[in-house]
Chain A
Amino acid sequence: MSFLSVDIQDKTYPNECVAIQQLKFSAPKGEFIAIVGPSGAGKSTLLNVIAGLDPQFAGTIRFGSSELAQSGAKLGFLFQECRLMPWLSVRQNLQLVVKHTRPTPHTKTIDEWLQCVGLQGCGELFPAQLSGGMQRRVALLRAFIVNPDVLLMDEPFQSLDAPTAAQLRRLLHELWQNSAPTVLFVTHNLREAISVASRILFLSSRPSKVILEYPLTRLAPLDIESDDVAAEHKKILETYPNLLAGLHLD
């Protein structure tokens, strides 16, 4: 049985703009899925709907055999911006979410988590005292520290410089391999999708729907500039030349 099952019949905004229509996919436990689509295709809307932040839609988001919202599944969400509370220290930001999580025998302390992401000694600093990359690491940690069943990521590394983004992608993979949540990673960068995911969902332009599911077979994250990524990128675009424009393939 699929772990996460998304079936959105219709998502229309109050201004009559139809954002999503007949969008369906499912994801087994622990799969890392990248969602790629043209700008304005409704990728962020899709994640907001799945997270329950936008309940005005027709369809179902299921987790196992029940609705995601009622299933008790834990969510992690890495937004486009870090969305840390600027008035709370790094430790307080993490404590804020972790205290609503049931501890397990393997639960790490906050200091252990900070050490995992190379932020040891930064617990008492405020977000404004950290660099953009460090803030992003805290936000990533906040998403993982709740031990999520489903992790939603909305273009999380888009505003970072290339080396920092590469470092964070590796960190993301390490964290993902340890706890194996189902990841939905939204990006408009096909190379980034190829470098991190085990399957790519291509969305059409509005109204958004899945136009292609493209599986990848790999265990480790690839360097976005590597030859392997470049070859896969070329292969996809040669096979489906209209894909990134969000045009329907049939």
Chain B
Amino acid sequence: MDQLQINMWQTIKRLCAPLDGDCIRLLPLIIVVLLWQISGYYSDNKILPQPSAILNLLQKETFEGDLMFHLGMTLRRVAISFLAAMILGILIGLAMGIYDAVDKALDTFLVIGLNIPALVIIIICYIWFGLTEYAAIIAVTINKVPMVAISLREGARALDNKLFQVAQVYHLSKFDIMTKIVLPQLLPYIFGAVRNGLAIIWKIVLVVELLGCSNGVGFQIGGYFHFFDISGVLAYTFAFMLVVFAIEVLALRPIEKYLLRWRS
């Protein structure tokens, strides 16, 4: 390698250095989209539409169609059922982790709840409560509660008794014990439950909407499925993925990084 090549190589490395982390994340995605675009060019557009076609449809649905409304309805269902599942799951999980009797009493239900198919719960809720908004939210919540509970039960079991001895010696208040000793120890478990919870709830909400709602992303995808319109299915899926990714990058990661900064 002559000096000119070495200089060029070093210049390229220097220019790319700040992007190193992002490049590693983005490169596989860019390759997949490029391959998809090329494959789409040589395939039947109804089976594998090109990414550019999907983006066009996404743009059209966003500004001229009902995508924002349906996305909003789905997000509303996700938010309500997520909050309900987290609150119930945390309370049940903590009670099971702290009190042996509660653990023994609810353990069987937890195992059943974890293993019963989501579809069965959804159908039962729709039969019992009708094709209503409440039924949809209850179905999603019931599906998620056992997963949150099992995570928090492990968190409660792992609480460090030695730190409670410190609290006892120095006469800390119950509020301080909860906020300065218990909650920080549970945070990693809560974040785990939030991550898994969101991932599962997105999926279940879409099934719930597909089966028994008259709006939402799941309902729209169902509609496109009836017409075998893969572009519509992928456009809505892409919009949905963007929202999920935005929540992860703009909310979950910064909050987690801040609250667990003491670990680094």
Interchain CB contact under 8 A, A146 and B170: yes
Interchain CB contact under 8 A, B180 and A85: yes
Q: Does any Cβ of A come within 8 Å of B252's Cβ?
A: no
| Closest residue of B by beta carbon distance from A54 | B165
The winner among B166, B180, B184, B261 for most chain A CB atoms within 10 A is: B166
A88 in complex: contacting residue of B162, B173, B180, CB < 8 Å: B180
Tell me the A55-111 residues at the B interface (CB within 8 Å). Answer: 75-77, 79, 81, 83, 85-88, 92, 96-97, 100
Q: Does any Cβ of B come within 8 Å of A215's Cβ?
A: no
B-contact bits for A138-151, CB 8 A (1 contact / 0 none) = 00001000100000
- Measured between C-beta atoms, what is the minimum distance from B167 to chain A in Å? 9
Given A51-B169, A100-B170 in contact, is the A81-B176 Cβ separation under 8 Å? Answer: no
Inter-chain CA distance A127–B166, complex, in Å, is: 16
Range for the number of chain A residues in contact with chain B: 20 to 34
Dominant SS at the B interface?
helix
Interchain CB contact under 8 A, A52 and B162: no
Inter-chain CA distance A76–B169, complex, in Å, is: 7
A96 in complex: contacting residue of B180, B261, B263, CB < 8 Å: B180
Interchain CB contact under 8 A, A97 and B170: yes
Given A53-B169, A83-B166, A126-B262 in contact, is the A96-B176 Cβ separation under 8 Å? Answer: yes
A-contact bits for B157-171, CB 8 A (1 contact / 0 none) = 000001101101111
Query: Which residues of chain B are within 8 angstroms of A126 by Cβ–Cβ distance?
Result: 261-262
Inter-chain CA distance A76–B163, complex, in Å, is: 14
Interchain CB contact under 8 A, B172 and A97: yes
Query: Which residues of chain B are within 8 angstroms of A96 by Cβ–Cβ distance?
Result: 170, 172, 176, 180
Interchain CB contact under 8 A, B163 and A83: yes
| Closest residue of B by beta carbon distance from A89 | B262
A-contact bits for B175-196, CB 8 A (1 contact / 0 none) = 0100011001000000000000
Q: Does any Cβ of B come within 8 Å of A128's Cβ?
A: yes
A85 in complex: contacting residue of B165, B169, B184, CB < 8 Å: B184
Interchain CB contact under 8 A, A53 and B184: no
Query: Which residues of chain A are within 8 angstroms of B173 by Cβ–Cβ distance?
Result: 100
B172 in complex: contacting residue of A53, A100, A127, CB < 8 Å: A100
Query: Which residues of chain A are within 8 angstroms of B263 by Cβ–Cβ distance?
Result: 86, 128
Inter-chain CA distance A79–B161, complex, in Å, is: 13
Inter-chain CA distance A127–B261, complex, in Å, is: 12
Given A86-B262, A96-B180 in contact, is the A79-B162 Cβ separation under 8 Å? Answer: yes
Given A96-B176, A128-B262, A128-B263 in contact, is the A85-B163 Cβ separation under 8 Å? Answer: yes
The winner among B163, B168, B169 for most chain A CB atoms within 10 A is: B169
B-contact bits for A3-21, CB 8 A (1 contact / 0 none) = 0000000000000000000
| Closest residue of A by beta carbon distance from B164 | A53
Tell me the B210-253 residues at the A interface (CB within 8 Å). Answer: none
Residues of A at the B interface (CB closer than 8 Å) are 51-53, 75-77, 79, 81, 83, 85-88, 92, 96-97, 100, 126-128, 142, 146
Residues of B at the A interface (CB closer than 8 Å) are 162-163, 165-166, 168-173, 176, 180-181, 184, 261-263
**Please, could you name 13 A-B residue pairs with CB atoms under 8 Å apart, sorted by A?**
A51-B169, A52-B168, A75-B170, A76-B169, A79-B162, A85-B166, A85-B181, A88-B184, A97-B170, A100-B171, A126-B261, A126-B262, A142-B170
